[in-house]
Amino acid sequence: MEKEGLAMASPAKDISPDSMVERQSKRPAQLRNPWACSPYTIVATLLGFAVLLVMVQSFLTRQLDTKGCEMSYMRPAFAKFADFDTEHTRFASKYSLYLYREGGVDEDLRVKGVPVLFIPGNAGSYKQVRPLGGEAATHYHNVLRHDVTANKAGKRSLDFFTVDFNEDITAFHGQTLLDQAEYLNDAITFILSLYHTPARSERDPDLPDPTSVIIVGHSMGGVVARTMLTMPNYQSNSINTIITLSAPHARPPVSFDGDIVRTYKGVNDYWRHAYSQKWAIDNPLWHVTLISIAGGGLDTVVPSDYASLASLVPETHGFTVFTSSIPSVWTGMDHLAITWCDQVRKSIVRALYDVTDVSRPTQTLPRAERMRGFKKWFLTGLEDTAEKTLPHTEPKTLLTLEDNSNAIIPPGERLVLRSLGRTKQKPKPYLLPVPPQGEGKKRFTLLTNERLDSTGEHGKLEVLFCSVFPLQAGQSAALFSMNMDLSGDSSGSTRLACKNAAADVIALPSSTRESTFAFNTQGVAPFSYLQYELEDLAEHQFVAVVDKSGEHSTGWVVAEFSTSSESVYRVNMGLRRLLTTGLNMRLPARRSLTTEVKIPALHSSLLAYKLHIGKQACDMGELFAPLLRQYITDVHESKFFVNVKDADINLHGVAPYMPPPFLAKQPSNGLSLQLWSDPTCDSSVEITLRVDLLGSMGKLWMRYRIVFAAFPLLVVALVLRQQFRVYDETGVFMSFAEGLNECVLSSLPFALAALTFLSIALVGAQRQTPSVAQRSLKGTGSNVTDLFDYTNHELLLGSEDTFFCFLVPVFGLMCIGICVVVNYVALGITSTLALLYSVLRSSSSQNDEAKRTPGAFAVTSTRQRLITTCILLSLVSTVIPYHFAYMVLCIVQIATCVRGYRLASDTRLDTNYNFYNYAHSILILMLWILPINLPVLVVWVRNLAVHWLTPFSSHHNILSIMPFIMLVETLSTGRMVPRVQSRFHLFTNVLLFSLAAYAAVYGVTYAYVLHHLANILCAWLVILHFDASSFSAKQISTILETIDPDSNVKKRP
């Protein structure tokens, strides 16, 4: 009667003794050669590394933004709240709360103003609050406390609090992120209680006690801030304003920890669900504003694409902006510089003061007013959605002119003042008639190198929008705060009711022939720019430009009304045509002050470009040098190029793996170029745009770094599949190198081709999601469609364009080369250690016969191994994370390979080579899984350093490591896996194919799952080792007996 169970060709066997020398493999010796390398593999490796080196070189040297941050200075002082102890939070022994004070400015430790909490990021320090805290104290001390209007508006000092997380690593560990969020909610409760305690507060008793705290978070601190609102201990409405700096909101930086992936998903789903509610009463985040500030291309720690809020928050409650867009900043910055950059901290502090109001319990203005203030300080003002104050203000200036004044510019003509102050007497007005409504889509633009005066100021230039005022005596004094009478002694006069336009001035970097960078503003005043659509000027008849300069100056003004057909060019070319031929266009000599070129097809963050703008001839002398603004509207990214001739163009547009927008929108507007050029030169300008192929290669590194941790497992799994297939058929377990040689010519090309077609199919599916999302929003909403909408981008390479499907074989080629190098490095280490082992254990101490026996491999008895395994599993379940055990197993497996290599080299037996090749391939698999486990291990070691011993439940699951332990322990005895010649060999194929497919399709987004898939594979291999036909009750009893005296216990190498 046949035995039930797995049908094996033979039971598991130990390393063969001399009696098996006769059974030599009939396959060529090349199969067992661990150093085998075919010409095809060499070519693939060289090509892969050539592409990888070009990518790295491009990332380091090409398309780099210029660093323009100025250093900030402060005199910090910190006060620790020792009474924020275990009575308030269970994390008091691990974390600490501090109050920041600026030395020499505000050293009073009592709270007195608006509470602001700074949250450091991944491995960040609580001392990173110093630049913001110092600037806030200095600005209030030097400016606001002397401003009566500001005090009446509720402006008080900012009390900056900060937390010491002992440089916790939150980017790799979801539970740490949740712990910090819980601690911070407790800290907010404590902070608010300080303002209720008279002994610790110096606030005006007539003011209401604060009920909310403003949050500023850097890096992962911004993600922690959003997580706080989802925690059970969150106090409702205690947070309504969040500003984040370089925070990866859209997706986790790495996916090696399952907790961080699930936490991100839970938090982002909560925010999306809240803002999808129809009624404000159902939205717990209705009063919350969220501003995400990104550093741009200089941030090489976290891709700035991840800072986008487009998939999380509607534009009414938040937006994403890049530092290169912020007025008077105009520069990108790296991940750490964004916390200390002087220009950025000034903008953030002034924005915070602008939205605070201590007369309200929330300490802030209502949401709509907060959003208006943040847009004023952080956006350029050139956006289509920019709010203009002019239509919402009342006329405050009465302008009186002579009836026979010749200062009216004929309709359709441009006002050009090449120098101000020519009259040297009284102010000189110039009037531009406002065209009638309905004359096409027109726009008013004005550019000057002078500052525009507000009402009542006495500078050089003032711009007013006026309408005819009825001649009724006695009304001017009652209705207007400013009376500008320029009529002289003339008997006849015209009176105009005017609004001042200074509040809508847009600051632009000064651009002259001496200018180098937009951020070089020291000693040079920025340009002042006005831009209004004709609809904004419906109630006005004239634009009055008043030259108030008392002496001749170098100030100039250009103002005009232009139509869209004159100023906006839309390039309707496809991406492939733009890539092959580029863009060549010539702007006409008679053109408007500002010209926009919109290229919708160029929206990918993976491509970079070279722009050239030809020099224009100017007979009368140039008023200013060409000024270029490169921008995209989705995330408010603008870059300014002064005195532009040649420019590197790169953007953070549509990026891989990024979720779709929160609400269904129109397709991306793509790249836009806005050019200000001197229209008085009467000279055409040539614009040339070309794709920078080498510069684009560097953009792949930041977006696809995790691919190099996931894609190689596709190669490893397919090689293992080939090894097991040949072994089950022939009994020869080929080397990893030879298996890779065969896969390069067989399974790998087919796999990469199939994945390429899959990526094309996924792009087609993604193009259907906007309409699906819109239908779900119009109806009752479907969880299924929402799930599809927000997960489809996570697959494979996450691209939304079929053009980039060629990246699948390109990354496959690079990963083949990396796998080849890792394999030979492991071989080199193994052979070197084996040589050292042989030298240390000289052959004189052993006879040749002993090398060929099972005792040569049995370093410990079965009973000892069983006890060791039980101890290790018990430690994993209680004290150490399984990630630590995994690292130990990798070391043990290296030792096994060293002994296997030595034995195979000494005996030259096929069976011993089979075992070594098998053990080495398992080692290669484990080495590629190791990076997934290291980040959590680093977190655990970090917690030990701060004496935090509370275990994390998700890291003590013994089932996540037991198969690895059992397989490594089995291999340490020298036992070879049996051949499987029944249908069950298909199960091995399925497991390895599943591992390969998952690594390619989901590996980047869910890398942590790869450990568990490899764990399942190990469990199957353990079953093959201990199948029913070779594992009996007699063997179980043997394990429990005392150690056999004949078994020699040896030390591991």
Q: Across the strands, what pairs with 38?
A: none
> Is the sign of the CA dihedral 346, 348, 354, 358 positive or negative?
negative
Asked if residue 1026 lies in contact with residue 967, where contact means CB atoms within 8 angstroms, the answer is no
Residues 6+ apart with CB under 8 A from 472: none
| Phi, psi for residue 609 in degrees, rounded to 5 | -140, 160
Q: How many residues does the chain have?
A: 1053
Containing 469, the helix (H) or strand (E) segment is: none
Of the chain, the end-to-end C-alpha distance in Å amounts to 46
C-alpha 840/C-alpha 834 separation (Å) is 10
Q: What 3-state class would DSSP assign to 503? A: helix
Amino acid at 835: L
Q: Which of 222, 372, 364 is nearest to 293 (CA)?
A: 222
Residues 6+ apart with CB under 8 A from 550: 421, 424
C-alpha 227/C-alpha 173 separation (Å) is 14
Tokens of 296: 């741009």
Q: Which residue has the tokens 């108030």?
A: 548
Q: How far is CA 891 from CA 213, 642, 923, 1052, in A?
A: 49, 57, 9, 11
* Catalytic entry in 219, 325, 528, 668: 219
Give how far the C-alpha of residue 263 lies from the chain's centroid of Cα atoms, to the nearest Å. Answer: 17
Asked if residue 292 lies in contact with residue 373, where contact means CB atoms within 8 angstroms, the answer is no
Query: Could you count the other beta carbons within 10 Å of the beta carbon of residue 311?
Result: 20
> Is the sign of the CA dihedral 358, 360, 362, 364 positive or negative?
negative
C-alpha 852/C-alpha 912 separation (Å) is 10
Q: What 3-state class would DSSP assign to 802? A: helix
Asked if residue 601 lies in contact with residue 618, where contact means CB atoms within 8 angstroms, the answer is no
* Strand locations in 129-274 (E): 158-164, 214-218, 241-245
Q: Which residue has the tokens 């009575």?
A: 87
The crossing angle, in degrees rounded to 10, of helices 807-840 and 736-745 is: 160
Amino acid at 23: R
Give how far the C-alpha of residue 119 lies from the chain's centroid of Cα atoms, to the nearest Å. Answer: 18
User: What's the maximum distance between 2 C-alpha atoms anywhere in the chain?
Assistant: 129
Q: Does residue 686 come out as left (phi exceeding 0), alpha (psi in the -120 to 50 range) or beta?
A: beta
Q: What 3-state class would DSSP assign to 713? A: helix
Helix/strand number for the chain, H first, E second: 27, 28
| Phi, psi for residue 955 in degrees, rounded to 5 | -100, 10
- Checking DSSP bridges between strand 289-294 and strand 241-245, what pairing results, if any? parallel
Residue 776 known to be catalytic: no
Q: Which residue has the tokens 């991406």?
A: 575
Q: Across the strands, what pairs with 467?
A: 497
Amino acid at 6: L
Q: Which residue has the tokens 């002064």?
A: 642
> Is the sign of the CA dihedral 676, 681, 684, 687 positive or negative?
negative
C-alpha 566/C-alpha 591 separation (Å) is 6
Angle formed at CA 176 by CA 173 and CA 181, multiple of 5 degrees:
130
Q: Which of 375, 302, 290 is nearest to 338 (CA)?
A: 302
C-alpha 1019/C-alpha 967 separation (Å) is 8
Q: Which residues are catalytic?
A: 219
